[in-house]
Amino acid sequence: MKNVCLLFEIHQPFRLKKYRFYDIGADHYYYDDFANEEILKRNAYQSYIPAGKMLLEMINSTNRQFKVALSISGVAMEQFEMFCPEFLDIVRELVATGCCELTAETYSHSLSSLVDPEDFQMQVKMHQKIIFETFNYKSKTFVNTGFIYNDEIGAEVASMGFKGVITEGTKHVLGWRSPNFMYNTTAKQEVGLMFRNTRLSEDICQNFQGGLDAGTFMSWIAQGPEQEQLYLIAMNFDVIGGMHPASTGIFEFFKALPKFANQHDIRFVTPIEAFENIPSVATATVGHAISWDGYDKDVSAWMGNDLQHEAIRAIYSISERLRLSNNEVLRQDFAYLLSADHFKFMSTKQGSYVPFSPYDSSFDAFTNYMNVVSDMEIRLNQEFPATVETEELSAQLKLIENQGKEIEKLQTKIAKLEAAAAKKAPAKKETAKKEVAKAPAKKTAAKKAEK
Amino acid sequence: MKALMFGWEWPPHILGGLGPASYGIVRGVVNTGECDVTFVLPKPQGDEKKDFVHIIGAANTPVVWKDVDWNYVQQRYGYCMDPQEYYDLRNCIYADFSNLYTNDLGCIDFSGRYPKNLLEEINNYSIVAGVIARKETFDVIHAHDWLTYPAGIHAKQVSGKPLVIHVHATQYDRTRGMCDSGDPTFQIELDGMNHADLIMCVSELTRQTVIQKYHQNPDKCIAMHNAVEPMSEEVLNMEAKRGTTEKVITFLGRITAQKGCEYFVEAAARCLQTLEKERQSGYPNVPDVRVVMAGNGDLMEPMIRLVAQKGLADKFHFTGFLRGKQVYEMFKVSDVYVMPSVSEPFGISPLEAMQCGVPSIISKQSGCGEILQNCIKCDYWDIDAMSDAMYSLIKYPTLHDYLQEAGRNEVNQITWEKVGRRVVDAYKKLLGWS
C-alpha cells in the first residue's frame, strides 16, 4: 500500500522598515507594521484561511481518512495572534480532529542550525513552547527552515528527542536511490529521515497551471514501483490560493485528491505515523547542507555571497552575550532578526525566488539589516559594556545570580526567625545573625558598582 | 554592408562624451566584420585613430569647383586625405555655392568645436554632406547627435538610403525640461527624429524622452546602451596617492543643476554629521571621512557657500576641473563614487569608477543604471537613501568589497563589441536583410 504524506509550511517574517543610519542609537523599533499586517492578512484571506477550511472539510468528509501536517514558524504564530487570530482557531480545529500534525521547527525560521547549535536548541525549544501553549500540542517530528539538513543537524535533532526529520530529496544526495522510502539519520538508527519527492511536489508548485488534475497526479503515485511506499509532498501553504489563485482551480485539485487516492488504494499519513510505522531501509548520509531551494538545492540562497555571510556573522556574533541578558525586548528583537528571509533578501543569485521582498536590491537589504544590527549592538552594550569579555561577564552574572539566591535564602530565614522572635521574648542572638546576612548583599552591590 | 556616419568629435580631440562614444560604436560595428564605416568629421587633424575606419573631413571636401593640381592638394591636405579623393569629391559638386566663403581649394572652413556660430557651421556641414553622399556608396546613414542630424537628412534625400540617428543627449534633458518648441536645438532634434527611419537612444530613459517629448513612434525608437573602453594598463597600474587613512566620497562632473550637486552636498553633509555624532558618543571604530567635489560649473560657488553654512568646509574639497589622467587619479583614491544626476541620458563616469574598483551610487534617473546591477541606486531627491548608501559603503567593508569586485566584473562585460553587434543587427533589420 502506498502512503502519501502532505506537509505545508507556513511562515512570514517580521519585515524591517526603512532603517537609516541616523536612526542607529535613536530608534529601537525596527519593523514595518503596515507591510507585515498587509502581507499577512492578504495571505491569510487568499490562502491560509480558505485552505485551512478546505483541509478541515477534507478531513471531515473522508471520515478522517485524509491527513495532513503543518509546519508553522514561531514568528508567523505571533503575527497570526496579532493580525489574524481566526486562522489559529482553524488550526485548533484541525488539530482537534487528530488528523493534522504540527511539526517542530525553529522559532524564527532561522539558519541557526548551520551557524549556532546552542541557539538552534533554544529556538526549537521556543517553538515547541509556543505550539504547546497555543494548541496544547507536542511536536515529535522536525522540519528545518527551507528543509535544510545535513548529518550534524540530524545529530542535533536526534539529541532533542525527535522521532524523525524531513528534508529535500535532492538528486546529488540520493543518487540512484529513490526518495520514496523511509531512511534513518546517521546519528541514531531510530530517528527517521524522510525525503520530499521533489518532482511531484514541484509539479503542484510550478506546473499546476499547465493543466494538472488530481486523477493524473494520483495515478502517477499509483503507477510507481511496488516497493516505493512513501510519497512526501511538501510545499508552502500559500501555493494554495496565493501562488495559484482560487480561480485556477487549485482548491478543487486538492479536494479531489482523497477520492482518487481511494480509487488507487492510496492512504494518507502524517509524518509521525510514517516515522513510527514504516521501517527504515537504509542510513542516509548527507555531508553538505541541502535544502529545497531553487535548482541547486543547497543553502546558497541564504549564505551564497559575502554580504549574507557578513550579515550572518554580525547578528550571530552577539548571540552569546544576548543569551546572558534578561531583557525580554532585546531577546525578542534578536529572534525576529534571525529569520532566514532577511538573508534571502540579500541574495544576488539569479532566479532565486524571493517572495515579498521589501527592498529594491540586495544591497538595500544588506544596508538596512546592518544598520539594525548596529543598533542592536549599541543596545546590548548599554546592557553590558563592550569592554567586559563574554566569559568574564558570564561568570560575574553567575556570581550575582548566586549571591541573589543566597540573599533570598537568608532573607526567608530572617523572616522566619523574626516571626519566631515576635512570638518569643526579644532575643539578641537573631539581630546578630541579621547583620551577618546583610553583609554579602552589600558586597554584591559593591561589585556591581565596580563595573 | 557599408555605413556612412556623421559625427562631430573623434579621439584624441575630444571635448565631451560624444567623441569616445562615437569611436566606440564605430570600433564595435567594424569589429563585427560585416560592416565598413565611412566617418565624416568637421575637421580632421590628421592624427586621428583611423586604422579601421575611413575618415572624410568636411573641411577638406570641395563645394566650389577649383582647378588645382595634384601636388598642391597633396601639399595642403596630404596630412589627412588622399588627393584622389579630393578630385572624386570635386566631381560630385551638385550646386553653385560660390556665394559661400570658401578657400582656394573650394572648401568651407570648419572649427570642429562648438563655436558661437554653431548653427551656421551645422548648416555648412549639411551642405558638404550632399557632396559626400553623392560620392560615397553606402547602405545606411548613421548620424550622431543633433549637430549632424541635418547632414543625415540631406544625405538621405540625396541617396534614398535609410537614416539612423543616434540620440546621445536631448535638449530636453540639457535644459531640465525648460526648452520650448522655439528652441533651435530642439527644432533640429525634432526635425532629425521626424526624418529618421530608426532612432537609437543611449538608454531607455532617453528613449522615453524621445517618445514623450518629441512625440516619436515608439516602434522606431530603440535603446542602444553605451559601453566603456577597457582601462589601459597604465591607468590600472597607477599607484593611488593616498596620504591618509581617511575614507573619500567623490563627486565628479560638471557642478550644474543637471548633475544634482546640491543633493550630493546635502547627503554627504548628513553622513558626516552622523559620523561626528557617533564619534562624540564614543562609539568604536568611527571612520574619518572626506568629501571631494571635482569639476567645474555654474553652481560651484553656491555649493561652496552651502558647505560653509553647514560648517563642513574643512571636510569638503573642491578640486576644480580635472583632465586626462587626473580623473583616474581621483578615482584611485576614492572609496565611494556618487553620481546623483537629476537626468542623465547615459553617464559613463560610474562605469569608469567601477573599472577602477570604486563602488558607485547612482541616481535612478541615470541611463547607465539600466544596465548596471552591482551599484547602489536611489532617487536623486532621496537624500536619506543616498546618505544611507554612503554610510554603509564606509561603515560595512563587506559591502564595499563586494561591490568593488562584482562591479568591476560587471563593467568588464560591457564592451563596445557587443554594442557594435547590436547596431549591425539593427541595421540589418532596418534594411530587411534579416
Helix (H) or strand (E) holding A142: strand A141-143
Residue A435 confidence (pLDDT): 54
Q: How confident is the model at residue A440 (pLDDT cuts 50, 70, 90)?
A: low
In a domain, A291, yes or no: no
- Which chain A residues contact residue B391 at CB under 8 A? 21
Do A436 and A335 belong together in one domain? Answer: no
**Residue range A376-381: mean pLDDT, rounded:** 90
- Which chain A residues contact residue B399 at CB under 8 A? 307, 310, 363, 366-367, 370
In chain B, what are the domain boundaries?
2-227+416-431, 233-412
| CATH 1.20.140.10 holds for B233-412 | no
In a domain, A302, yes or no: no
In a domain, A334, yes or no: yes
Q: Which of A117-131, A174-188, B167-181, B379-393 has the lowest mean pLDDT?
A: B167-181
The answer to whether B2-227+416-431 and B233-412 have equal CATH topology is yes
In a domain, A360, yes or no: yes
Do A353 and A219 belong together in one domain? Answer: no
Do A158 and A222 belong together in one domain? Answer: yes
**Residue range B26-37: mean pLDDT, rounded:** 94
Domain that holds residue A431: 390-450
Do A394 and A362 belong together in one domain? Answer: no
Which residues 366-395 of chain B have a CB within 8 Å of chain A? 373, 376-377, 384, 387-389, 391-392, 395
Which residue among B376, B384, B399 sits closest to A20, beta carbon to beta carbon?
B384
Do A319 and A195 belong together in one domain? Answer: no
Do A156 and A76 belong together in one domain? Answer: yes
Q: Quick check: bond before B150 cis, omega within 30?
A: no
- Which chain A residues contact residue B389 at CB under 8 A? 363, 367
Interchain contact, A21 vs B392, CB within 8 Å: yes
- The DSSP secondary structure of A184-244, one letter per residue, reads E-SS-TTSEEEEE-HHHHHHHHTTGGGT--HHHHHHHHHTS-TT--EEEEEEEGGGBTTTB
Do A235 and A354 belong together in one domain? Answer: no
Do A266 and A313 belong together in one domain? Answer: no
- pLDDT for residue A406 is more than 60: yes
In a domain, A35, yes or no: yes
Between B242 and B29, the more confident residue is B29
Residue A20 near chain B (CB below 8 Å): yes
Residue A433 confidence (pLDDT): 54
Distance from CA of A325 to the nearest CA of B (A): 21
In a domain, A295, yes or no: no
Distance from CA of A20 to the nearest CA of B (A): 6
In a domain, A301, yes or no: no
**Residue range A89-117: mean pLDDT, rounded:** 94
**Residue range A106-127: mean pLDDT, rounded:** 94
* CB-based contacts of B390, cutoff 8 Å, min separation 6: B249, B267, B268, B271, B336, B338, B361
Closest alpha carbon to A153 in A91, A105, A96, A197: A105
* CB-based contacts of B326, cutoff 8 Å, min separation 6: none
Closest alpha carbon to A323 in A15, A112, A14: A112
Residue A428 confidence (pLDDT): 57
| Unique residue bearing C-alpha cell 557651421 | B121
Closest alpha carbon to B319 in B330, B305, B331, B308: B330
Do A375 and A419 belong together in one domain? Answer: no
Task: Give B366's DSSP letter.
Answer: B
Do A367 and A398 belong together in one domain? Answer: no
Do A260 and A374 belong together in one domain? Answer: no
> How many structural domains compose chain A?
3
- pLDDT for residue B360 is more than 90: yes
Do A327 and A242 belong together in one domain? Answer: no
Between A450 and B59, the more confident residue is B59
pTM: 0.82
Superfamily of domain B2-227+416-431: Glycogen Phosphorylase B; (3.40.50.2000)
In a domain, A239, yes or no: yes
**A198-255: pLDDT as tens digits:** 999 998 988 887 788 899 999 999 998 988 989 999 999 999 999 899 999 999 999 9
